[in-house]
Structure 1
Amino acid sequence: MKTDQTKLVMVQDVTLHYGRHVVLKHVNFSMKAGQIMGVIGPNGAGKTTIMKAMLGLVKVNQGTITLLNERVTPQHHAVLADNVGALIENPALYPFLTGWQQLQLVTKNESQLKWVIAALQMSAYIHQTVKHYSLGMRQKLGIAMALVTKPKLVILDEPMNGLDPQSVKLLRDLMKRLAQQGMAFLISSHILSELEKVIDTVMVIDHGRVVLQTAMQDLQQNQQQKLVLQTTADAQALTWLQRHHYACSQQADGLVVMGVTSLTPLLAGLIAQGVQFTYIGEQAVDLETILLRQLGQSVRGELE
């Protein structure tokens, strides 16, 4: 197989099924050093399964997964030991160990232990037994276990579960710093508002298929922006906008107009009708809107 030295991870034509139930279908994507990729999709779409396959925890029926140009399978995953950290579903913790002792199961290197404890602000409770930890403390410890050795790739499945807003921001800032140092992240999360603040690439999975993979910057630039108008005569304004072929609708926060390329003729036309404005603003399309739109396109494609 031809190798690509620029790619840290390559997932090529991966298909996995249990009997007749197809979990992954011809999945293809790649990652490079320093990349932060968010994988999103509905429940049961295959997000956790592809992560498990990348860790050699499940056997695929077709295709290949390579890390640093070495193939990963349940029988051959030695390359993962020094190069990958992961938190899949809930962290596997021993309740009668302290947080420090739990981290020592990953590494005995004291400098590594100290940096991750400081980075995640865990020093106040790191020597307490895990059975006394809150949900958020347990989640931080699981994340620390994935990060402690500073591997080349970190896979985090719903890492923000149970974290308070301060801890979410702390994790977000830490991931950005580590990515600047060359660490790559593959993250899944249902908290899309937080996910879009940290990722540079988004991959949408639906029914086991990758239906979209693109840079966040490109995706946001290609999405139409929403123009929000609040007026003293919404019904009159809506009628005029529709008559002049603007894509618009009445919503709770006012009139929403899509795809406006020039604001001046729109405003001038409404003012000429005697419409007065109480608010004019632009609303960026968020990741949730993009996801729902993409999944809607995916469903329509299956029906056609």
Structure 2
Amino acid sequence: MIELQNIKLSFSSKTVLNDISETFHQGEVIGLVAPNGTGKSTLMNVMMNYVAPNSGKVIFENGLTYSSKANEVKIHQLISMMPDQSDLYNHLSGRDHLKIYCTMWKSDSKLIDTTIAALNMGHYVNKKAGTYSLGMRQRLCFAMQIVANTEIMLMDEVMNGLDPINVEIISNVLMEKKAEGKMIIIASHLLDNLEKYADRLFLFKDGKLMDVDDIVEGFSEPTMTTVRVKNMSSDVKVAFQTRYPTIALQTLVNDTTLLTLDKKDAETLGSMTAYLAELQVNDFTFGKVTLNDLYAMYYGEES
């Protein structure tokens, strides 16, 4: 468990973390979504005590906090942060790196071979890291955190530089760790993938965490509340809003217009689509608001 209690942090005159209070639990995958520079990585650094907040505190199981160096040592047996590629030693092999992390966190050495197999690293893991491609280095960084085997795992852009096959492989490992009761907090730009496996999703805006279910009611539920229209003309928008003044209409940067009901309403949904056909609009689909939609709405860009 991690409880963030009134975390505030400013650099010069810029507020980066603005009174954040939230609790995360074991067995959860938490997704943090926002453009670079909005505070996601800083929040993770606060959880690790790499950066001290101006006020507020991070609380772990049994009320453990970063109140002393002795407590920090105890906490860092519970929590780890995925290393960055710049942390790798080019003269050491991938297996050497895994042995180091296994030793540092006093975890089971059997995890080394099982992790190598799970991530399909066997053909290069004994070579020096300096010979690795970016994707191989990223897999090694992920593997290092997996063999540390901490109860809480923080991952910043874990899927960076990976092809779709390796994204799927890592996603499967994450699901296995979740089933073991690990808490995994991930900051990511791969929103389609993140939306598939995260239990809770948060946007970062003006230094605050916003639960997507508070932004869009029932976001996490598989209900069809949205009609997505491509290249909807201004005249059609005016006609539609005249007929349906209570329906939310928003056009995203990719020229997709979302027509969203407050809740599931099959009768209105059917009437809306019939009216679109009457207006000779045929390029539309049913669905729900997606994480990519929310990203475009809040940050004015596509992920």
Range class of TM-score, shorter chain: 0.7 to 0.9
TM score, norm. by length of structure 1: 0.80
- Unaligned 5+ segments in structure 1 are 1-7, 297-304
Amino acid in the other structure paired with 1:245: Y
* Aligned twin of 2:211: 212
DSSP-derived class of the 1:227 partner? strand
| Contact kept in structure 2, 1:33 and 1:182, CA below 8 Å | yes
Which shows bigger deviation, 137-146 or 276-285?
A: 276-285
CA gap 1:43/1:277 in 2 versus in 1, 3 angstroms:
closer
Q: Aligned with 1:106: secondary structure? A: helix
Does structure 1 residue 66 correspond to structure 2 residue 59?
yes
Q: Cα offset for 1:208?
A: 2.1
2:180 is aligned to 181
Q: Which amino acid aligns with 1:167?
A: N
Match of 2:98 among 99, 103, 115: 103
CA RMSD of aligned residues (A): 3.4
**Structure 2 residue 21 is the aligned partner of structure 1 residue 28:** yes
Supply the AA of the counterpart residue of 2:160.
Answer: N
Q: Is the partner of 1:194 in helix, strand or coil? A: helix
Quick one: which amino acid aligns to residue 153 of structure 1?
Answer: I
Is the 2:224–2:286 contact (alpha carbons within 8 Å) kept by the matching residues of 1?
no
Distance 2:250 2:28 in 1: 38
Structure number with bigger Rg: 1
| C-alpha separation in 1, matches of 2:57 and 2:228 | 47
- The aligned amino acid for 1:201 is R
1:91 Cα deviation (Å)?
A: 5.1
Q: Distance in 2 between matches of 1:161 and 1:293?
A: 23
Match of 2:260 in 1: 258
3-state secondary structure, aligned to 2:170: helix
SS of 1:49 mapped into structure 2: helix
Distance in 2 of aligned mates of 1:144 and 1:211: 30
- Distance (Å, rounded) in 1 between the aligned partners of 2:281 and 2:55: 59
Residue 290 (structure 1) aligns with = 294
Cα separation, partners in 2 of 1:30 and 1:160, compared to 1, 3 Å: same
Task: Give yes or no for contact 1:200–1:217 (8 Å, CA) kept in 2.
Answer: no
1:52 aligns with 2:52: no
Task: For structure 2, list consecutive stretches of 5 or more residues without a partner in the other structure.
Answer: none
C-alpha displacement of 1:239: 6.9
In the TM superposition, what is the alpha-carbon distance from 1:57 to its structure 2 partner?
Answer: 0.9
Contact 1:14 1:25 in 2 (8 A): yes
Judged with a 3 Å threshold, the aligned counterparts in structure 2 of structure 1 residues 101 and 217 are, in CA distance, closer, same or farther, namely farther
Distance in 2, Cα, partners of 1:213 & 1:235: 29
Q: Report the Cα distance in structure 2 between the residues aligned to 1:250 and 1:56, rounded to whole angstroms.
A: 41
CA distance in 2, matches of 1:188, 1:58: 17
- Overall identity of the aligned pairs, in %: 24
What residue in structure 2 maps to residue 87 of structure 1? 82
Query: Quick one: which amino acid aligns to residue 66 of structure 1?
Result: I
d(CA) in 1 for partners of 2:19 and 2:256?
Answer: 43
Distance of 2:143 and 2:281 partners within structure 1: 51
SS at match of 1:43: coil
**In 2, Cα distance between the equivalents of 1:55 and 1:276?**
56
Per-residue displacement from partner, 1:48-71 (whole Å, max 9, x unpaired)? Answer: 111011112112221111222311
What is the TM-score of this pair, normalised by structure 2?
Answer: 0.80
The count of aligned residue pairs is 286
Alpha-carbon distance between aligned partners in 2 of 1:167 and 1:285, rounded to the nearest angstrom: 27
| Secondary structure class of the residue paired with 1:113 | helix
Letter in 2 for 1:25: N
Instruction: Determine the structure 2 residue equivalent to 1:190.
Output: 189
- Aligned equivalent of 1:43, options 36, 41, 60: 36
Partner-residue secondary structure (3-state), 1:136: helix
**2:17–2:208 contact (8 Å) kept in structure 1:** yes
CA contact (8 A) 2:32 2:185 kept: yes
SS in 1 for 2:197: coil
Aligned-residue offset at 1:121: 1.4
Q: Tell me the CA shift for residue 255 of structure 1.
A: 7.7
The partner residue of 1:78 within 73, 76, 83 is 73
Matched, 1:227 2:227: yes
What does residue 5 of structure 1 align with? none
Q: In the superposition, relative to structure 1, how do residues 138 and 200 fare at CA in structure 2: closer, same or farther (>3 Å)?
A: same
Q: Contact 1:228–1:253 (CA<8 Å) still a contact in 2?
A: no
1:73 to 1:294, Cα distance in 2 relative to 1, 3 A? farther
| Correspondence 1:243-254 to 2 at 5 A | 243-245=242-244, 247=247
1:121 alignment partner in structure 2 = 120
Q: Deviations over 1:162-193 (max 9, x none)?
A: 11111111111111121011011000012222
Q: Secondary structure at the match of 1:85?
A: strand
Aligned mates of 1:90, 1:36 — CA distance in 2: 23
Task: Trace 1:231-242 onto structure 2 (pairs within 5 A).
Answer: 241-242=240-241
